[in-house]
Structure 1
């Protein structure tokens, strides 16, 4: 079930018209920047996006411009993840085809992160999400006390049965123009 939902939504995301997608990405990041959880945050965690996801380079640039510290995930075996300070000169490719901080990057304690911008493939209105299947974010968010938000396209909204270990994000911003 989860695999077929992922496959279907990924196909829709990859089929978005590039110009519409770019406009939606910018609009979603602007909406995220207007949230009080963003405005009050000093340290923001986000991810380096795949081409079919909301382009997080807009968020990274805006957050740095807004004087915030940006941290990005670094993954380890057995689903372990931590966040490290974003440094575009010190990234390496992962097995997933994404960039992440090089080994030895400065890790940031979870208690220092104010807001996590959470990725995913499918989302319910109440914040439950299907990621890419590694469980990294659910494990990390299980004891995270800060704010969480996701930015998604309308095609990513779907009903599914969350697993008992799934941790919902607090807020899901949806771009309705990408239906």
Structure 2
């Protein structure tokens, strides 16, 4: 199956997930994540502000803030450039993609980030991912030295061969029930 076909199939599967199942899966995956040493040892955690069909990152954001972590969210620029900025719910704006991003320009140095929670639509067993097609995360992760994790529903798992520029996440937490 071609990447675009896989992307569309999984996107449709995500949008049709039962809300009770999704809420339970989101809580279970968060519990698994916060029990890991990569979460416990992280001070700066980067995540994203999710669409409704994606993992509910608000759960992670609230828990991490309660645990004393600094939360960072992405800000995108032309030509596939992305930075991470400290999360401030009162300073967000909608992008042309319909995502919320920080209004400010003050980015956090990549070397300070301990853990990046990486989004994606489709994942293979080696942690390679198919996203929405912009390549922002693959470019950013190319020289990132910290930990990476994705929280993945079972409907997002598929076999595919990654492209040469794809960067795998180091850890996947899945929910399959």
TM class, shorter-length = over 0.9
Q: Which residue number in structure 1 is paired with residue 42 of structure 2?
A: 41
Q: CA shift at 1:161, angstroms?
A: 1.2
TM-score (norm 1): 0.97
Q: CA shift at 1:139, angstroms?
A: 0.1
Q: CA shift at 1:20, angstroms?
A: 0.9
Q: CA shift at 1:30, angstroms?
A: 1.1
* Matched residue count: 176
The answer to whether the 8 Å contact 1:85/1:105 transfers is: no
**2:42 counterpart of 1:55:** no
Q: CA shift at 1:106, angstroms?
A: 2.3
Q: Which residue number in structure 1 is paired with residue 153 of structure 2?
A: 153
- Partners of 2:30 and 2:81 lie apart in 1 by 27
- Partners of 1:20 and 1:147 lie apart in 2 by 28
- Partners of 1:11 and 1:147 lie apart in 2 by 29
**2:77 counterpart of 1:114:** no
Q: Which residue number in structure 2 is paired with residue 143 of structure 1?
A: 143
Q: Structure 2: which 5+ residue stretches go unaligned?
A: none
Q: CA shift at 1:19, angstroms?
A: 1.1
- Partners of 2:36 and 2:51 lie apart in 1 by 24
Please list, as runs of the form range in 1=range in 2, the aligned pairs for 1:1-179 lying within 5 A after superposition: 1-102=2-103, 104-177=104-177
TM-score (norm 2): 0.98
Give the aligned CA root-mean-square deviation in angstroms.
0.6
Secondary structure (helix, strand or coil) at the match of 2:161 reads coil
- Partners of 1:86 and 1:27 lie apart in 2 by 24
List per-residue Cα deviations over 1:3-23 (Å, max 9, x = no partner).
100000000000000111011
- Partners of 2:117 and 2:33 lie apart in 1 by 9
Q: Write out the 4+ residue segments of structure 1 that deviate beyond 4 Å after TM superposition.
A: none
Secondary structure (helix, strand or coil) at the match of 1:13 reads helix
